[in-house]
Amino acid sequence: MRDVAVLGVGMTKFGELWDRSFREIGIEAGLQAMVEAKLSSGDLGGLFLGNMASGSLIDQEQIAPLILDYAGLGARHLPAVRVEGGGASGSLALHQGYLAVASGLYDFVVVGGAEKLTDVPDVTGNQITSSAADHEWEVVFGATLPALWALIARRHMHQYGTTREQLARVAVHAHEMGSKNPNAHYRNKITIEQVLGAGEVAEPLGMFDCAPLSDGAAAVVLGPLETARKYTDQPIRIAASQVACDTMAVQHRRDVTTLDSTVVAARRAFEQAHRAPADVRVAEIHDAYTISALVSLEDLGFSEKGHAGPDFEAGRFGAKGDVAVNMSGGLKAQGAPFGAVGVAQVVELVRQLRGQAKDRQVADARLALAQDVGGTGATSVVTLLERAD
Tens of pLDDT along 54-87? 999 999 999 999 999 999 888 899 999 999 999 9
Helix axes 290-299, 145-160, angle to 10 degrees: 60
Supply the pLDDT for residue 340.
Answer: 97
pLDDT range class, residue 302, cuts 50, 70, 90: very high
Percent helix, percent strand, percent coil in the chain, to nearest 5 = 45, 20, 35
Mean pLDDT of 271-290: 98
Q: What is the pLDDT of residue 41?
A: 87
Question: Does pLDDT of 332 surpass 90?
Answer: yes
Decide if 381 contacts 92 (C-beta within 8 A).
Answer: yes
CATH superfamily of 4-122+214-236: Thiolase/Chalcone synthase (3.40.47.10)
- Where in the chain do CATH 3.40.47.10 domains reside? 4-122+214-236, 142-210+238-387
Which amino acid is present at 15? G
Q: What is the pLDDT of residues 333-354, one digit of tens each?
A: 999 999 999 999 999 999 999 9
Would you say 291 and 311 are in contact if contact means Cβ atoms under 8 Å apart? no
Q: Does the pLDDT of residue 209 top 90, yes or no?
A: yes
Residue % of the chain over a pLDDT of 90: 89
Instruction: Please write the tens of the pLDDT for every residue from 261-271.
Output: 999 999 999 99
pTM assigned to the model: 0.97
pLDDT of 359 reads: 92
Whether 37 has a pLDDT exceeding 90, the answer reads: yes
> For position 179, what pLDDT does the model report?
97
| Four-way CATH pick for 142-210+238-387: 3.50.50.60, 3.40.47.10, 3.30.1490.190, 3.30.365.10 | 3.40.47.10
